[in-house]
Protein backbone atom coordinates (compact mmCIF):
# COMPACT_ATOMS: atom_id res chain seq x y z
CA UNK A 1 0.00 0.00 0.00
CA UNK A 2 1.16 3.57 -0.77
CA UNK A 3 2.14 5.18 2.54
CA UNK A 4 3.61 8.64 1.95
CA UNK A 5 4.75 9.12 5.57
CA UNK A 6 6.58 5.79 5.69
CA UNK A 7 8.16 6.47 2.31
CA UNK A 8 9.28 9.93 3.38
CA UNK A 9 10.77 8.61 6.60
CA UNK A 10 12.63 5.88 4.67
CA UNK A 11 13.94 8.51 2.25
CA UNK A 12 15.11 10.76 5.12
CA UNK A 13 16.82 7.78 6.81
CA UNK A 14 18.65 6.83 3.61
CA UNK A 15 19.68 10.42 3.01
CA UNK A 16 20.97 10.84 6.59
CA UNK A 17 22.99 7.62 6.27
CA UNK A 18 24.45 8.89 3.02
CA UNK A 19 25.42 12.22 4.57
CA UNK A 20 26.95 10.50 7.62
CA UNK A 21 29.02 8.22 5.36
CA UNK A 22 30.22 11.14 3.24
CA UNK A 23 31.31 12.98 6.41
CA UNK A 24 33.30 9.91 7.48
CA UNK A 25 34.97 9.72 4.07
CA UNK A 26 35.92 13.38 4.22
CA UNK A 27 37.25 13.04 7.76
CA UNK A 28 39.41 10.03 6.93
CA UNK A 29 40.68 11.69 3.73
CA UNK A 30 41.70 14.79 5.68
CA UNK A 31 43.58 12.61 8.20
CA UNK A 32 45.51 10.93 5.37
CA UNK A 33 46.15 14.30 3.72
CA UNK A 34 48.28 15.32 6.72
CA UNK A 35 50.98 12.93 5.44
CA UNK A 36 51.58 14.97 2.29
CA UNK A 37 54.51 17.34 2.69
CA UNK A 38 55.75 20.13 0.40
CA UNK A 39 58.14 19.17 -2.43
CA UNK A 40 56.45 15.81 -2.97
CA UNK A 41 55.36 13.76 -5.93
CA UNK A 42 51.99 12.34 -4.87
CA UNK A 43 50.01 9.36 -6.22
CA UNK A 44 46.30 10.19 -6.19
CA UNK A 45 43.76 7.40 -5.78
CA UNK A 46 40.33 6.95 -7.30
CA UNK A 47 36.83 6.84 -5.84
CA UNK A 48 34.57 8.82 -3.59
CA UNK A 49 37.01 8.93 -0.65
CA UNK A 50 39.97 9.85 -2.87
CA UNK A 51 37.86 12.70 -4.25
CA UNK A 52 37.89 14.36 -0.81
CA UNK A 53 41.64 13.87 -0.64
CA UNK A 54 42.17 15.52 -4.03
CA UNK A 55 39.88 18.44 -3.13
CA UNK A 56 41.63 18.84 0.24
CA UNK A 57 45.05 18.78 -1.42
CA UNK A 58 43.98 21.43 -3.93
CA UNK A 59 42.70 23.64 -1.11
CA UNK A 60 45.95 23.29 0.87
CA UNK A 61 47.97 24.24 -2.21
CA UNK A 62 45.72 27.27 -2.84
CA UNK A 63 46.07 28.39 0.78
CA UNK A 64 49.86 28.17 0.43
CA UNK A 65 50.12 25.45 3.09
CA UNK A 66 51.84 23.12 0.62
CA UNK A 67 54.22 24.06 -2.18
CA UNK A 68 55.99 22.32 -5.03
CA UNK A 69 53.46 19.49 -5.19
CA UNK A 70 53.19 17.41 -8.34
CA UNK A 71 50.88 14.42 -8.70
CA UNK A 72 50.05 11.37 -10.77
CA UNK A 73 46.47 10.09 -10.87
CA UNK A 74 45.27 6.50 -10.93
CA UNK A 75 42.36 7.24 -13.28
CA UNK A 76 41.18 9.73 -15.87
CA UNK A 77 38.49 10.87 -13.41
CA UNK A 78 40.99 11.67 -10.65
CA UNK A 79 43.32 13.30 -13.18
CA UNK A 80 40.59 15.65 -14.36
CA UNK A 81 39.47 16.46 -10.81
CA UNK A 82 43.06 17.22 -9.78
CA UNK A 83 43.55 19.54 -12.78
CA UNK A 84 40.35 21.40 -11.75
CA UNK A 85 41.82 21.79 -8.27
CA UNK A 86 44.91 23.43 -9.77
CA UNK A 87 47.24 20.51 -8.96
CA UNK A 88 50.21 20.08 -11.34
CA UNK A 89 49.77 16.67 -12.91
CA UNK A 90 52.50 14.44 -14.37
CA UNK A 91 52.55 11.14 -16.23
CA UNK A 92 53.92 8.05 -14.48
CA UNK A 93 57.66 7.92 -15.10
CA UNK A 94 60.65 6.28 -13.51
CA UNK A 95 60.74 9.02 -10.87
CA UNK A 96 59.66 7.36 -7.64
CA UNK A 97 56.44 8.62 -6.07
CA UNK A 98 56.96 9.97 -2.54
CA UNK A 99 53.54 9.06 -1.23
CA UNK A 100 50.36 7.57 -2.67
CA UNK A 101 46.95 7.73 -0.98
CA UNK A 102 43.86 5.84 -2.07
CA UNK A 103 40.55 4.36 -0.95
CA UNK A 104 39.91 0.63 -0.72
CA UNK A 105 37.09 -1.91 -0.83
CA UNK A 106 38.20 -4.39 1.84
CA UNK A 107 40.98 -4.65 4.40
CA UNK A 108 41.89 -7.79 6.38
CA UNK A 109 43.72 -7.96 9.74
CA UNK A 110 47.11 -8.20 7.93
CA UNK A 111 46.33 -4.99 5.99
CA UNK A 112 45.93 -6.84 2.72
CA UNK A 113 43.36 -5.14 0.52
CA UNK A 114 40.81 -5.59 -2.20
CA UNK A 115 40.65 -2.64 -4.57
CA UNK A 116 39.04 -1.90 -7.88
CA UNK A 117 35.32 -1.66 -7.33
CA UNK A 118 35.77 1.75 -8.96
CA UNK A 119 37.42 0.03 -11.92
CA UNK A 120 40.84 1.68 -11.61
CA UNK A 121 42.76 -1.28 -10.17
CA UNK A 122 45.43 -1.57 -12.88
CA UNK A 123 46.52 2.05 -12.78
CA UNK A 124 46.18 2.01 -8.99
CA UNK A 125 48.53 -0.95 -8.73
CA UNK A 126 51.03 0.55 -11.19
CA UNK A 127 51.14 3.89 -9.41
CA UNK A 128 51.02 2.52 -5.88
CA UNK A 129 53.68 -0.15 -6.43
CA UNK A 130 55.93 2.72 -7.49
CA UNK A 131 55.46 4.73 -4.26
CA UNK A 132 57.77 4.95 -1.27
CA UNK A 133 54.88 5.30 1.18
CA UNK A 134 51.37 3.95 0.74
CA UNK A 135 48.31 5.04 2.68
CA UNK A 136 44.77 3.70 2.28
CA UNK A 137 41.58 5.00 3.83
CA UNK A 138 37.95 3.96 4.25
CA UNK A 139 35.10 3.78 6.70
CA UNK A 140 34.81 0.79 9.02
CA UNK A 141 32.34 -1.06 6.77
CA UNK A 142 35.39 -2.10 4.71
CA UNK A 143 37.01 -4.11 7.53
CA UNK A 144 36.67 -7.86 6.95
CA UNK A 145 37.96 -11.06 8.56
CA UNK A 146 39.23 -12.31 5.19
CA UNK A 147 39.42 -10.82 1.70
CA UNK A 148 36.48 -11.65 -0.50
CA UNK A 149 34.14 -11.83 2.49
CA UNK A 150 31.96 -8.96 1.27
CA UNK A 151 33.41 -7.69 -2.00
CA UNK A 152 34.34 -9.58 -5.16
CA UNK A 153 37.95 -9.52 -6.36
CA UNK A 154 37.93 -7.40 -9.54
CA UNK A 155 40.06 -8.78 -12.36
CA UNK A 156 40.80 -6.62 -15.41
CA UNK A 157 40.94 -8.67 -18.62
CA UNK A 158 41.38 -7.82 -22.27
CA UNK A 159 38.21 -8.00 -24.34
CA UNK A 160 39.58 -10.60 -26.75
CA UNK A 161 38.95 -14.14 -25.55
CA UNK A 162 36.66 -13.13 -22.68
CA UNK A 163 34.89 -16.51 -22.52
CA UNK A 164 38.20 -18.41 -22.29
CA UNK A 165 39.61 -16.12 -19.60
CA UNK A 166 36.35 -16.37 -17.67
CA UNK A 167 36.42 -20.18 -17.85
CA UNK A 168 39.98 -20.23 -16.51
CA UNK A 169 39.00 -18.02 -13.58
CA UNK A 170 36.06 -20.33 -12.88
CA UNK A 171 38.51 -23.25 -12.69
CA UNK A 172 40.20 -21.45 -9.78
CA UNK A 173 36.89 -21.82 -7.90
CA UNK A 174 36.02 -18.19 -8.49
CA UNK A 175 32.68 -16.99 -9.72
CA UNK A 176 33.52 -14.36 -12.35
CA UNK A 177 30.78 -11.94 -13.34
CA UNK A 178 31.25 -9.41 -16.13
CA UNK A 179 30.91 -5.92 -14.67
CA UNK A 180 28.16 -3.85 -16.27
CA UNK A 181 27.46 -0.13 -16.33
CA UNK A 182 24.11 1.11 -17.65
CA UNK A 183 23.41 -2.42 -18.94
CA UNK A 184 26.57 -2.42 -21.05
CA UNK A 185 29.93 -4.00 -20.28
CA UNK A 186 31.96 -1.64 -18.11
CA UNK A 187 35.10 -0.51 -19.94
CA UNK A 188 38.14 0.51 -17.88
CA UNK A 189 40.34 3.54 -18.61
CA UNK A 190 42.61 1.03 -20.38
CA UNK A 191 39.83 -0.19 -22.70
CA UNK A 192 39.40 -3.53 -20.91
CA UNK A 193 36.62 -5.48 -19.22
CA UNK A 194 36.38 -6.20 -15.50
CA UNK A 195 35.36 -9.61 -14.18
CA UNK A 196 34.20 -9.37 -10.57
CA UNK A 197 35.27 -12.68 -9.03
CA UNK A 198 33.31 -13.91 -6.04
CA UNK A 199 34.94 -16.28 -3.54
CA UNK A 200 32.94 -18.69 -1.45
CA UNK A 201 35.50 -19.11 1.33
CA UNK A 202 38.76 -17.84 2.80
CA UNK A 203 41.65 -18.49 0.38
CA UNK A 204 45.45 -18.52 0.36
CA UNK A 205 45.82 -15.02 -1.08
CA UNK A 206 49.39 -15.26 -2.40
CA UNK A 207 48.57 -18.48 -4.19
CA UNK A 208 45.32 -17.10 -5.60
CA UNK A 209 47.01 -13.88 -6.79
CA UNK A 210 49.75 -15.91 -8.53
CA UNK A 211 47.22 -18.17 -10.20
CA UNK A 212 45.07 -15.28 -11.44
CA UNK A 213 47.93 -13.24 -12.88
CA UNK A 214 49.26 -16.25 -14.83
CA UNK A 215 46.04 -16.58 -16.86
CA UNK A 216 46.55 -15.27 -20.40
CA UNK A 217 44.23 -12.33 -20.98
CA UNK A 218 44.39 -11.15 -17.36
CA UNK A 219 45.83 -7.65 -17.10
CA UNK A 220 45.68 -7.17 -13.32
CA UNK A 221 43.73 -8.18 -10.23
CA UNK A 222 42.47 -6.21 -7.27
CA UNK A 223 44.37 -8.09 -4.55
CA UNK A 224 46.78 -5.56 -3.03
CA UNK A 225 48.87 -7.82 -0.80
CA UNK A 226 51.65 -6.62 1.54
CA UNK A 227 51.50 -3.14 0.08
CA UNK A 228 49.83 -0.82 2.62
CA UNK A 229 52.06 1.03 5.08
CA UNK A 230 49.21 2.77 6.86
CA UNK A 231 45.45 2.24 6.79
CA UNK A 232 43.11 4.88 8.20
CA UNK A 233 39.63 3.76 9.21
CA UNK A 234 36.85 6.18 10.07
CA UNK A 235 34.49 4.88 12.72
CA UNK A 236 31.84 7.13 14.23
CA UNK A 237 33.81 9.90 15.95
CA UNK A 238 37.15 8.12 15.72
CA UNK A 239 39.87 7.82 13.11
CA UNK A 240 41.76 4.57 13.66
CA UNK A 241 45.32 4.30 12.32
CA UNK A 242 46.66 0.81 11.53
CA UNK A 243 50.27 0.25 10.46
CA UNK A 244 52.11 -2.75 9.15
CA UNK A 245 55.08 -3.17 11.47
CA UNK A 246 56.91 -5.55 9.19
CA UNK A 247 57.47 -2.97 6.45
**Would you tell me which residues interact with ligand 5RP (CB under 6 A)?**
45-50, 102-105, 115-121, 124
Burial of 171 (0-12, 13-18, 19+ CB in 10 A): exposed
| In the complex, least distance from residue 5 CB atom to ligand 5RP, rounded to whole angstroms | 32
Nearer to ligand 5RP, 45 or 176 (CB): 45
- Measured from the CB atom, the residue of 45 and 56 that comes closer to ligand 5RP is 45
Nearer to ligand 5RP by Cβ, of 14 and 48: the residue is 48
In the complex, minimum distance from the CB of residue 116 to ligand 5RP, in angstroms, rounded to a whole number: 4
- What is the CB-side half-sphere exposure of residue 147 using CA atoms within 13 A? 26
The residue annotated as part of the active site, out of 124, 128, 156, 220, is: 124
Concerning whether 124 is annotated as a catalytic residue, the answer is: yes
**What is the 8-class DSSP label of residue 136?**
E
DSSP 5-29: HHHHHHHHHHHHHHHHHHHHHHHHH
User: What is d(CA 14, CA 18) in angstroms, rounded to the nearest whole number?
Assistant: 6
Pairing, β 153-157 against β 218-221: antiparallel
> Least distance to ligand 5RP from the beta carbon of 8, Å?
28
Q: Tell the smallest beta-carbon distance from residue 62 to ligand 5RP (Å).
A: 23
The span from the CA of 113 to the CA of 59, in Å, is 29
Residue whose CB is less far from ligand 5RP, 55 or 105: 105
Q: Hey, which residues are catalytic here?
A: 124
Amino acid sequence: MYEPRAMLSEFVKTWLNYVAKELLKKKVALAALEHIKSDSLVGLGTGSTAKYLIEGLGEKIKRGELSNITAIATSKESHELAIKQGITMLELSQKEIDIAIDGMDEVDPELNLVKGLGGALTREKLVEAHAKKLIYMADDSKIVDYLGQKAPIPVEVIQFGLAVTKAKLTRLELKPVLRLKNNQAFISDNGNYILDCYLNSKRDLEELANQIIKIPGVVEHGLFLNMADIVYIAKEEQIIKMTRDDK
